[in-house]
Amino acid sequence: MNDQKLKRRITPAEREALKVFGQVKTEKAVSEQEKAQKAFHENRERLKSLRLAREAAEKAKGT
């Protein structure tokens, strides 16, 4: 078979659909990244406050 017969052109509607769905996938990935970043920072702040409280309690106990 001829290779040119196997190639199919993308219609304008298909091109538009690919563009829209590509944007949705990108936005979803970004929002998942933002959620992960937010969870990481919240956890870090929580652990930091626990550490500072523990150090303050140890310092108060020592004096």
- Domain span including residue 59: 31-63
* Whole-number Å distance between alpha carbons of 48 and 55: 11
Does a structural domain hold residue 18? no
* Whole-number Å distance between alpha carbons of 58 and 37: 32
Q: What is the pLDDT of residue 23?
A: 73
Does a structural domain hold residue 11? no
* Whole-number Å distance between alpha carbons of 21 and 43: 33
Q: What is the total count of domains within the chain?
A: 1
Does a structural domain hold residue 46? yes
Q: What is the pLDDT of residue 6?
A: 61
Buried b (16+ CB within 10 A) or exposed e, 25-41: eeeeeeeeeeeeeeeee
What are the mean pLDDT values of the chain's consecutive 10-residue runs (63 residues total)? 65 86 73 91 97 95 78
Q: What is the pLDDT of residue 20?
A: 81
